[in-house]
Amino acid sequence: MDTKRCADCAEEMKLEARKCPHCGTRMEPLHRDVEGKKLAGVCAALGQYFGVDAALLRVAFVVALAFSGGTATMVYLLLWAFTPATAVSRPPVQKAVDWLGSVGGSDAPQVEKRV
C-alpha cells in the first residue's frame, strides 16, 4: 500500500488522500486547474476542494444569482481573483499587485532622509 506523510503532523496516510485523517490538514491548496471547469473554474475548484459535486455548486450559484441582486456575481469574481490558476501559481489579484508595485521601476521603496 502506497502512503505519504502529512506535512503538519507527520502521520502516515493513503497516497490518494486529499485531507489528513489525523489532523485534518488539506494536502493540496485551492486552485482552479481542475477537471470539469466550465467558465473560470471556480465552482469546479470549490467542488474538488470540499468534496462536493461541481454541478450542485453551479445550480446553487444560478439560484443565488437570481435572488441576490448581483451579490453572487461579486462573490464569484472575488473567488476567481483570490484563487490561483494552478497549485503553484499566484492568484490574479496578487499578480496585479506585483505589477503595480513594479510600475515605479524600483523594487525597494524610496525613503527620503531629511536632516
Mean residue pLDDT of the chain comes to: 83
Q: Rounded to a whole number, what is the distance in angstroms from the first to the last CA of the chain?
A: 69
In a domain, 69, yes or no: yes
* All cell numbers assigned to 90: 499566484
CB distance 55 to 63 below 8 Å: no
Q: Measure the CA–CA gap between 21 and 58, rounded to whole angstroms.
A: 28
In a domain, 43, yes or no: yes
In a domain, 9, yes or no: no
| Lowest mean per-residue pLDDT among 34-38, 58-62, 89-93, 108-112 | 108-112
- Reference 77, options 95, 98, 92; nearest CA is 92
In a domain, 23, yes or no: no
In a domain, 42, yes or no: yes
In a domain, 15, yes or no: no
- Count how many domains the chain has: 1
- Reference 7, options 29, 22, 21, 25; nearest CA is 25
pLDDT for the residue 87: 78
In a domain, 66, yes or no: yes
In a domain, 61, yes or no: yes
pLDDT for the residue 110: 62
Containing domain of residue 35, as a range?
30-88
Span 6-51, pLDDT tens digits: 777 888 888 777 778 888 777 777 888 887 778 888 999 998 888 8
